[in-house]
Structure 1
């Protein structure tokens, strides 16, 4: 199994692997040991498209029998035919994203499932590609937004929320399996339940609405039973988010529903936001962020932005920099705008040269690093709760409540000096912070 792309694609890969294992197939760690290769692709930006096409080519060269799934599978070439079939005509089958059944049908056609009367050996939590102490929980598929720079809805469709009882059962199985951190993901977490009009489901015999605030509360209560964390990603700044912040700040869910929000702002100037077809009121966003921080001073806000969007003037870009300073965001990423085939933004006037887009991205990140370094230095001398991800003879690497895996910073932990202070991956430890840079921390147990 070759899995590329975002955490949502990773969950798709995990679902495919779980079904393969449930049917008695074994998962090989190498091309040589495999009878067939499944490649889960990404097709969001040009670099991701090329990476996916290269991965398919490598799998064909190394193994020869390849099934392709994922976002790139839904993408057409300039001639209107499937892009993958045009570039790699020898692939056995191609599906779009979130297509476990179609992938399994293709596997059955080219590698009939083995007869094994003892195939019910898959753990209730399923097969995961993450370390055993954290896992992604996808609560919905698709998106109702039509951002001009994005083609995800054309590949993954409109919002479809998973039944709330199904989500809760998966979460419970993950916690029972030893997961210490659950990362809630979707294309738009705040919109969970909109498509089913916040239908009431049932969990443990009690009614539970298919709504983000209700789900987060229930997940927080479940996490508290296991001493675990719940982290929220892809949260749009809707008014409903205001109801989640108190759960992070006080009461029995504090320390379990982490004071962390991943909010994709994308820009701050109203004209640019309108061209992006994004919510276009930065002042209201700033007011909301200020209110959130008043309720929960420990709140960490991460976001992503696009610099050099078509028509963006220097003055509009400066508004974005001013917003970054005023919002005092904790973790940010910035992409130089890149045209995505099939996106309506390609039809907008005012496309900027590559060097201008990249220069603005660099300026944004320079300011972001400067602001981050100031915040990180304030943590020196404090003792923070850290979830250990890795351990070696050189010490450990872990993360605080302010750091999501893969995308945020880490804490480098000195080797334990006493047996009573030894730690392993998946442990929560108290770490005194002794050093910091613009991204990471150093400390000792």
Structure 2
């Protein structure tokens, strides 16, 4: 039997990119390739890049350079791969460059570089594929691409128009993940609330899909739900206890003029009314959002409107990013760009304001009991996990010291004892039987 080629793979960027990397890894392993973490031992390396904003491009370029230090056979894929000239101008020695969603083409590239494994090396892979997350949670991508054309974004040109998956295929994947022990399903798409709008047959919607997934009796956490009637229906499901009371809704701004320039809907009054409605339907909802500071043409007065909104809305989690020119985005051509230093300063001011709000939000949780899903246990017995209000990697964590016999993937009950603006500490009450509940306390 000939030796199986060893493939290295690094994935950068968002969870949607991570899902692409999981699917690619699954095919490679099924074919008999070995996945190797040390580049120096690899026959070829795949760099799955992000290319959305400047810092992401810089990180991707650094990752490509690092891979080339160890391997002469480097394949670049992912969002930055759609801009092959940018990569080849700096790294002409890369073996091949492919855009996102080109899994079959990447596989053919690997075969041309290192050959195929012996057929006897082929492995059986679960229908839901290889997970690059911890085994107790998984991302469930329900659609590719996007139908919007926000002026600051180039996702439609990178990943194409909206292409929803059929609900039966999603449900079958989720069912397999649950059989494997996954306790939390994180539903993602570029705009999850648009799910199903493009399907000519088997018409469906995000809320219909979530109701179907709720039959699996697992935590279901939804990301990237844009303000819409569908968002209202998703919150209705949260009120019923079928979906985690966690709404990730990227508002981006609240000033009408800036939103029009962004080619985004909404204004401060409408957004506040939506938040009030969601909280009336699901009183324990946690709302997460992201904003852009220093968008071209943004005045100090318009930015202050955003600060006033932050004060009034009192969102649970907020991310704010200084506007970054994205190569190919319409907003790059807008007049009156904001000085880069002012962009940074405005983003910092917003996050400083939000830090106080977040602190008060977490203070209100002290003394209350929550079910916590454990993501990590340190050697000294500190279990680190999340409640219904925290998503992995982007929100705060709950640290529980002095745990015994608690393992990664366990569900425990814990009482919050302290916090800062982001993270919490808790005291262990008991391990649970493994059943999922939202514990509305």
Tell me which interval the TM-score lies in, with the shorter structure as reference length.
Answer: over 0.9
Q: 1:118 to 1:352 in 2, by over 3 A?
A: closer
The reply to whether residue 212 of structure 1 matches residue 206 of structure 2 is: yes
* 1:58-207 superposed matches below 5 A: 58-75=66-83, 82-117=85-120, 119-197=122-200, 199-200=201-202
- The whole-number CA distance in structure 2 between the counterparts of 1:221 and 1:118 is 37
- The whole-number CA distance in structure 2 between the counterparts of 1:3 and 1:349 is 35
- The whole-number CA distance in structure 2 between the counterparts of 1:409 and 1:243 is 27
The reply to whether residue 261 of structure 1 matches residue 247 of structure 2 is: yes
Of 195, 210, 221, the match for 1:231: 221
The reply to whether residue 240 of structure 1 matches residue 230 of structure 2 is: yes
Match of 2:5 in 1: none
Q: Secondary structure at the match of 1:338?
A: coil
Of 339, 361, 379, the match for 1:353: 339
Match of 1:322 in 2: 308
Of 352, 355, 365, the match for 1:379: 365
Deviations 1:90-123 (A, max 9, x none): 1111110111111111111112211223624212
- The whole-number CA distance in structure 2 between the counterparts of 1:443 and 1:361 is 31
Contact kept, 8 Å, 1:386 with 1:428, in 2: the verdict is yes
The reply to whether residue 443 of structure 1 matches residue 429 of structure 2 is: no
Of 416, 425, 428, the match for 1:433: 416
- The whole-number CA distance in structure 1 between the counterparts of 2:261 and 2:412 is 46
Which residues of structure 2 form unaligned runs of 5+?
1-8, 429-441
Contact kept, 8 Å, 2:373 with 2:386, in 1: the verdict is yes
CA RMSD for the aligned pairs? 1.2
The reply to whether residue 313 of structure 1 matches residue 299 of structure 2 is: yes
Deviations 1:165-207 (A, max 9, x none): 111111111111111111101101000011114x32xxxxxxx
Contact kept, 8 Å, 1:125 with 1:177, in 2: the verdict is no
- The whole-number CA distance in structure 1 between the counterparts of 2:371 and 2:113 is 49
- The whole-number CA distance in structure 2 between the counterparts of 1:235 and 1:424 is 32
- The whole-number CA distance in structure 1 between the counterparts of 2:183 and 2:193 is 23
Aligned residues: 419
Match of 1:407 in 2: 394
Compute the TM-score of the two structures, normalised by the length of structure 2.
0.93
Match of 1:14 in 2: 22
Deviations 1:391-428 (A, max 9, x none): 12141100011000000000010112xx6xx3111011
Contact kept, 8 Å, 1:306 with 1:336, in 2: the verdict is yes
Mean CA deviation greater in 105-114 or 263-272: 105-114
- The whole-number CA distance in structure 2 between the counterparts of 1:91 and 1:230 is 40
- The whole-number CA distance in structure 1 between the counterparts of 2:341 and 2:76 is 35
Runs of 4+ in 1 over 6 A off after TM superposition: none
Which residues of structure 1 form unaligned runs of 5+?
77-81, 201-208
Q: Secondary structure at the match of 1:389?
A: strand
Contact kept, 8 Å, 1:217 with 1:247, in 2: the verdict is yes
